[in-house]
Structure 1
Amino acid sequence: MTTSAITTIQDQAPVRITPGGRLLTAAEFQQLAEVPAEAEWFANLTNTQTRRAYEHAVKDFMRFTGITRADEFRGVTRAHVIAWRDELAARGLGGGTIRHRLASLASLFQYLCNRNAVTHNPVKGVQRPRSESGEGKTPALGDHQARQLLDAPQDHSVRGKRDRAILSTLLFHALRRAELSKLKVKDFRHARKGVLHLKVSGKGGKTRYLPLHPATSRLITDYLDAAGHGADDVGALFRPVRNNRTGDLCQAITPDGVYKLVRGYSGALGFEIGAHALRATAATNALDHRADIAKVQEWLGHANIATTRIYDHRLTRPEDSPTFKVVY
């Protein structure tokens, strides 16, 4: 954490215990007993992306209110939260960003409520910006653009084979870039009822198994044969082909690396997009071709079907409008 205020709270988090004959010394036991609930909440966030997002939101709130100590959160009222919400709007932040920051703060106060550190959650009841629409803002590619992107890596080098396999995995399985980065070699070799499945570690530690598209299976196999790490079952599936910083090519390609890969190929084709657009493309395509929306929800790893409906454009197609049903 970067600011002194946040660092103060982080410093009060549970200590790391050095292995020994006794797991906790008397001093360590007392130190853990005195950890503030606010620090417990932050230490309990295990997902890296969630931790980063919540940290950013709480840091912003602390900067706005001038909070420097963990126990000062207990004096926060709904008026403080409303003033912060209005200040975020005055900065020109979008409704989605404001809703997310309020949700982050609400998570902290819900934890404090559960610990009886505060009597109520001051974020509860604060009016949140409405969603601009029921449709997502992430662009989805047309079928011809998706085919162009799949064919974009032209060379037969290890990089070209890897990039074709990555693009196919994203477009046929709708993975988040972080999910793709976490794939192990063994994760594309799970057989269920005679069909190869992709084992995906999703948000919140949830695992889902997706039938592996035959074209993707061939491309991954081709890549592993060229890269030479197909026997390393527990190693990263997709790896960098060059690492100027450490020279280590055994680590997984990073989510940022996946983003830049998609950005590079799509930009060269004239429609620069990020990796999440391929997830939107796969979901939209599946729904347009009459996939059951409940199955698509499970496929995407969405906790709420309302999130999946963002990708469902079947009711917004102009040709289906009642306008074209009117006959005089």
Structure 2
Amino acid sequence: MENQELPPAFEHALAGFGRYLEAERARSAHTRRAYLSDLRSLLEYAASEGLTDLPGLDLGTFRGWLGAQSQAGMSRSTLARRSATARSFTTWAFREELIKVDPALRLRAPKAEKSLPGVLQPQQLVRLLRGMEEAAAEGSPVPVRNRAMVEVLYATGLRVGELAGLDVDDLNPDRRTLRVIGKGNKERTVPYGVPAAVAIDDWLRRGRPLLATGQSGPALFLGSRGNRVDQRQVRTVVKGLFEALGDTSATGPHALRHSAATHLLDGGADLRAVQEILGHSSLATTQIYTHVSVERLRRSYQQAHPRA
């Protein structure tokens, strides 16, 4: 569906907010598209109500916009995200003196439903990684790369974008750590274990040199044409692995991040240490993994205790 034409003042504000997200908030291109899509939806609704400039926006406009989407069947999590986008936008507009009062200060949306993330069982991961090790032993560079990528994703809990952005010199093989540039361009150092170290070394010795070209630069993981591996390629690889595994509903790389966090906590890791490893800005985000572990404990109790 094509975007509706907006009043000039709205188009100007939309472009300005996009520049702010990129220059000051350092949001990724994907995140900026999501914010601007939400904002355009709001401004299209406001225009349909006869508004042509930002000072005309009021709390009723925002509530009407969210209400219309709720009636259309939009999920609570999407409504919560769009409400947050609206508040970020009006905060920015007030700071830029495009509006004299912030109309979204009292805006509230339904709390997003908190679903427990999908987690692979340790034995499933052992089976998956053993199969990848066997495939890598055949010598083709792509299976060697895939094994290294999955080992790193599970060992470190990296986001797929962080994995794709790794350079060779981000590795510290002696300390078995890697430097990551995460959300908001924040840098962190993440440890990894011996299996990941072995897989990375294998990739650097007999995988990467076969794919590297003059265009490869310092990228750690390469696509089949020698360029930096694309996030979509990583997702496709992991999706295929999970489908082949057969006994999991997990579908993408984020399941490896969920699994890493949950298994760390199950093994007794400190919550704040897991927060640092994952690069969460808020401890509350990390705490969802404690719910996963408690839920697993509850299921085990119900299955095993005679009076559960």
Same fold (TM over 0.5): yes
* Alignment correspondent of 2:126: 147
Cα distance in 1 for partners of 2:128, 2:141 equals 18
Q: Please, which of 259, 264, 270 is the counterpart of residue 281 of structure 1? A: 259
Q: Any gaps of 5 or more consecutive residues in structure 2?
A: 23-27
The 10-residue stretch of structure 1 (118-127 or 224-233) with the greater mean CA deviation from structure 2: 224-233
Aligned pairs for 1:173-188 (under 5 A) are 173-188=156-171
Match of 2:195 in 1: 215
Contact 2:7 2:47 in 1 (8 A): no
Q: Which amino acid aligns with 1:138?
A: P
Please name the residue that 2:112 is paired with.
131
Structure 1 residues 139-288: aligned runs within 5 Å:
139-153=118-132, 154-155=134-135, 156=138, 157-188=140-171, 190=172, 195-226=175-206, 227-228=208-209, 229=212, 234-241=217-224, 249-270=225-246, 271=248, 272-288=250-266
The correspondence of residues 24-103 of structure 1 with structure 2, limited to 5 A, is 36=12, 38-46=14-22, 47-66=28-47, 72-103=53-84
Q: 1:86 to 1:187 in 2, by over 3 A?
A: same
1:315 aligns with 2:294: yes
What is the CA-CA distance between 1:71 and the residue it aligns to? 6.4
- Give 1:204's aligned amino acid: G
Offset, 1:9: 7.3
Change (3 A) 1:143 1:231: farther
Q: Deviations over 1:173-202 (max 9, x none)?
A: 0011111111111112x36xx513111110
* 1:67 positional shift: 6.5
Query: Counterpart of 1:200 in 2: which secondary structure?
Result: strand
In the TM superposition, what is the alpha-carbon distance from 1:289 to its structure 2 partner?
0.7
Residues 9 and 69 of structure 1 are in contact (CA less than 8 Å); yes or no, is this contact kept in structure 2? no
Contact 1:183 1:200 in 2 (8 A): yes
Cα gap change, 1:119 to 1:101, in 2 (>3 Å)? same
Amino acid at match of 2:182: G
1:202 to 1:8, Cα distance in 2 relative to 1, 3 A: farther
Partner of 2:98 in structure 1?
117
Deviation readout 1:51-81 (Å, 9 max, x if unpaired) = 1110111122233233799962331111111
SS of residue matched to 1:144: helix
Indicate the SS of the match to 1:53: helix
* Cα distance, 1:231 vs structure 2: 11
- Aligned AA (1:108): F
- Two-structure CA RMSD over aligned residues (Å): 3.0
Summarize the Cα distance change of 1:8–1:250 in structure 2 as closer, same or farther, 3 Å threshold.
farther
TM-score, normalising length: structure 1: 0.79
Please give the per-residue CA displacement for 1:84-108, whole angstroms capped at 9, x wherever unaligned: 1112222222211111111112111
**Matched position secondary structure for 2:100:** coil
What corresponds to 1:3 in structure 2?
3
TM-score calculated relative to the size of structure 2: 0.83
Please give the alpha-carbon distance, in whole angstroms, between the structure 1 residues aligned to 2:124 and 2:180.
Answer: 26
Cα distance in 1 between the residues matched to 2:175 and 2:7: 50
Tell me the number of residue pairs that the alignment of Structure 1 and Structure 2 aligns.
289
Q: Deviations over 1:199-244 (max 9, x none)?
A: 1110000011111322112111211222204999952111112xxx
- The one-letter code of the counterpart of 1:208 is R
> What percent of counterpart residues are identical?
27
Distance 1:86 1:40, change over 3 A: same
CA displacement, residues 140-192 of structure 1 (integer Å, 9 cap, x when unaligned): 1111111122233342311110110011011110011111111111112x36x
Q: Distance in 1 between matches of 2:55 and 2:228?
A: 42
